[in-house]
Amino acid sequence: MQNEAPVWGEGIRVLRGIRGKMTQEALAEAAKVSQATISRLECGSFEASDATRVRIARALGVDPHVLFPYLEDAAS
């Protein structure tokens, strides 16, 4: 499968902007991950676990499939 991490990262960046210019730090805190994780995801240099992706999507107030449509089971 082709690496789609840059697409996810752009989605995270766009949603942070829509959410009132949410900072990487604020998103990281809400998702219980490090700011470095958010930064690496946005740059496309990191692929997070499904659980982390779900926490990030929920922290952004969207269904996980909005950012990560390939997820098999986002409810886990």
User: pLDDT tens digit string along 65-76?
Assistant: 887 766 555 444
Mean per-residue pLDDT over the chain, rounded: 82
The string of pLDDT tens digits covering residues 12-27 is 998 999 888 899 999 9
Round to the nearest angstrom and report the end-to-end CA distance of the chain: 23
- Residue 35 has, within 13 A of its CA and on its CB side, a CA count of 5
d(CA 8, CA 33): 16
